[in-house]
Copies of this chain bind each other. A is one copy, B any other.
C-alpha cells in the first residue's frame, strides 16, 4: 500500500497478516503521533472492518499489540485492529509536573481538554472519534464498519466514545473506569483537563451516559474479581446500576480471580472479538 499521510515505521508478519506501526502528524493533537494497525490476511484482497482498541494508563500502541494475542483471532475473523497511543506525545506536549503515571503523557483519558496548558494538545476524544477513523479509512483497506474496545482508562474511552458517537456497531471493555466523576483517577484528570465545573465532566462518564440512554449498541464488559483497582477506581457497580436504569442491554461479567493485567485481556480477547464480529453491520 502507499499512503501520503502515514509514514510506515515498521511492518512485521503475524498470523499471516501485517502488524504495522505508523507515524503521522495529527492536526487535532498538534503533534506527531504513532499508532499500530493489524491488517488480517483478508485485507490483501478486500476491505475489512476494524476494531479500535483504546489502551490504559502508561500504555502506548505497543502493549496491546505485543501482549493481548488478538492478531490470531483477528486473522481468523478478518478484522483489522486499530491501536492508537494513549495521549499526545513529544517534548512540546506538556506533561504532569512530577511525571505521574496517571496524568499527562500516557494518560489522555480520551477527553477534549478545555483548560490551559492542556487544551492545545490533549484532544484525544476528537482524535479517536474523528481524525483517526478518517485517516485510516482513507489510507488503508478498511470498510466503514467499526467496533470499539479498550482496557481500564481505555475501557472508559471505548464506552464513552461508543455511547456518544454512532460510529461503532458494538462496544466492549476490560476493567473500565466506569464512573470517573467519582474516582481519584477521574477527579485528577478531569479537574485538570476540564476544570472545576463538574457539569462538564458528565459527558465523559460512562455510567452517567448509559443511565440516560433508552437504547444502546451491544455492549460487553469483563471485570476481574482480583483487580486491585476495582473498589476505588473502577466502580463497576455504578455501571451495573446505570445498565439497569437504561434497560439492562449491556452484558457486564465478573471473571473470578483475574487481575488488571494483560493476562486477563489475553484470556478473554477472543470472546470480545467474536462478539464484535457478530455485531458488525
Closest to A63 in B: B66
Q: Establish whether residues A267 and B14, one from each chain, have CB atoms under 8 Å apart when the complex forms.
A: yes
- Residue of B13, B72, B226 near A259 (CB, 8 A) is B13
Q: Across the two chains, which residue of chain B brings its CB closest to A75?
A: B267
- Chain B residues, CB < 8 A from A69: 69, 72, 266
Residue from the list B13, B72, B259, B263 in contact with A258, Cβ < 8 A? B13
Distance (Å) between the CB of A18 and the closest chain B CB? 9
- A257 contacts the other chain (CB 8 A): yes
Q: Is the CB of A72 within 8 A of B266?
A: yes
Bound CA–CA A267/B258 (angstroms) = 25
Instruction: Determine if A13 and B257 form an interchain contact, defined as CB atoms under 8 angstroms apart.
Output: yes
- C-alpha spacing A19/B258, complex, angstroms: 11
Q: Which residue of B lies closest to A270 (CB)?
A: B72
Number of copies: 2
Is B19 in contact with A263, judged by CB distance below 8 angstroms? yes
B-contact 0/1 string along A166-208, CB 8 Å cutoff? 0000000000000000000000000000000000000000000
Give, as a whole number of angstroms, the nearest-CB distance from A245 to chain B: 32
A67-B67, A69-B72, A72-B69 are known contacts. Are A263 and B226 too (CB-CB below 8 A)?
no
Q: Are B267 and A15 in contact (CB under 8 A)?
A: yes
Is the C-beta of A4 less than 8 angstroms from some C-beta in chain B?
Answer: no
Which residues of chain B are near A149, meaning CB under 8 Å?
Answer: none
A2 near B: Cβ within 8 Å? no
Whose C-beta in chain B lies nearest to the C-beta of A255?
Answer: B13
Residues of A117-150 at the interface with B, using a CB-CB cut-off of 8 Å, are none
**Chain B residues positioned under 8 Å from A14 (CB to CB):** 263-264, 266-267
Residues in chain B near residue A264, CB distance under 8 A: 12-14
CB distance from A223 to the nearest CB of B (A): 13
Closest to A263 in B: B14
Contacts A/B (CB < 8 Å), 14 sampled: A12-B261, A12-B264, A13-B224, A13-B257, A13-B258, A13-B264, A14-B264, A14-B266, A14-B267, A15-B266, A67-B67, A69-B69, A69-B72, A71-B263
The 8 A-B pairs of least Cβ separation, nearest first, read A69-B69, A14-B263, A13-B257, A12-B263, A15-B267, A13-B258, A66-B67, A12-B259
Q: Beyond the given A13-B259, A66-B67, please list 6 additional residue pairs across the A-B interface where CB-CB is below 8 A.
A: A12-B258, A13-B224, A14-B263, A69-B69, A69-B72, A71-B263
